[in-house]
Amino acid sequence: MENIKRNYYGSLSSLVYDQSKPPGTSIDGDIQFYTEELIQRDGIVLEAGVGNGRMAIPLLRKGFEVFGLDNSQEMLDLYKANLVKYNMKSNMLLGDLKDFKTDEKFDSIIMPNGSFCLINRDNIIDVLNNFKAHLNENGKMYLDLIFPTSFKAGTIHEFDFQLDNSEIINVKNKSISIDWITQKTYTELEYWYKNKSEIQPFSLWWYGVEEFTNILKELEFKNINHIINYNNLKILNLKTLTFIFEK
């Protein structure tokens, strides 16, 4: 076993992410939502936790300038490969959300697909303050929060994921526990490919609307709003809450 790092995307988990959600794969209409929001704004967009460029590459293709940040070299390598494939260019940085540094200032920071929920609760104030430090005056943040509405502790889901070259990665997804006090789920993902394996211990934190609004107010963010499921009324259950707020 290798790569036992909490909430880290190693080579096999990044590969499965890329092949199951290649650039342009919309999750409940999120790419359309972000495109329509960002079109009203100027300047550079930071995608925090850019991953393989699922969201960033369609934005680049629409003419936005996107800067990608991620703490997984494996994910950034896939982002680079996807940029070559789509003949696009983007600045990028390998770094952690809580202490990354760049001289660049952003007009918008986006964090789609629940990446924020991967951040250890103890670090969210540092992360939000670091975002603030990298925003221009009146810069805007879009941050998706997700909820464990269908999490069932004790369940195991095992499947063979077929790669584009027809090879198989066996994936075992074990939903271990849900802690209602600390608002956290714990899942263990195990990937097997040929003789190689990777374990991805995965915690996700969730936040109430009042609770998160108060955190943002304490940090003196302005114009705090939220929308549900990207305003897509066809989704009946709460899946994604996007907080939108300004420096």
Q: In terms of CB distance, is 149 or 166 closer to ligand SAM?
A: 149
Q: In terms of CB distance, is 74 or 190 closer to ligand SAM?
A: 74
> What span, in angstroms and rounded, lies between the C-alpha atoms of 169 and 102?
37
Q: Is 7 helix (H, G, I), strand (E, B) or coil?
A: coil
> What span, in angstroms and rounded, lies between the C-alpha atoms of 214 and 243?
12
- The neighbouring-strand residues paired with 133 are none
- The neighbouring-strand residues paired with 199 are 190
Q: Which two tokens stand for residue 26?
A: 């919309």
Whether 188 and 6 have beta carbons less than 8 Å apart is answered as no
Task: State which of residues 97, 178, 199, 204 lies at the interface with ligand SAM (CB under 6 A).
Answer: 97
Indicate the length of the chain as a whole number.
Answer: 247
Using CB under 6 A as the binding rule, whether residue 71 contacts ligand SAM is answered as yes
Using CB under 6 A as the binding rule, whether residue 109 contacts ligand SAM is answered as no
Residue 196 DSSP symbol: E
What track of x and - describes contact with ligand SAM for positions 27 through 66 (by CB under 6 A)?
--------------------x-xxx--xx-----------
Shortest CB 141 distance to ligand SAM, Å: 14
> What span, in angstroms and rounded, lies between the C-alpha atoms of 34 and 30?
6
Report which secondary-structure segment, H or E, holds 214: helix 209-218
Using CB under 6 A as the binding rule, whether residue 12 contacts ligand SAM is answered as no
How many residues sit close enough to ligand SAM to count as binding (CB under 6 A)? 20
Shortest CB 95 distance to ligand SAM, Å: 7
Shortest CB 54 distance to ligand SAM, Å: 4
Shortest CB 96 distance to ligand SAM, Å: 4
Shortest CB 153 distance to ligand SAM, Å: 21
Task: State which of residues 38, 64, 67, 112 lies at the interface with ligand SAM (CB under 6 A).
Answer: 112
Shortest CB 112 distance to ligand SAM, Å: 4
DSSP β-ladder status, 240-246 and 135-146: antiparallel
Burial class (CB in 10 A: 0-12, 13-18, 19+), 60: buried
- The neighbouring-strand residues paired with 17 are none
Residues making contact with ligand SAM (CB under 6 A): 7, 9, 21, 47, 49-51, 54-55, 70-72, 75, 96-97, 112-113, 115, 118-119
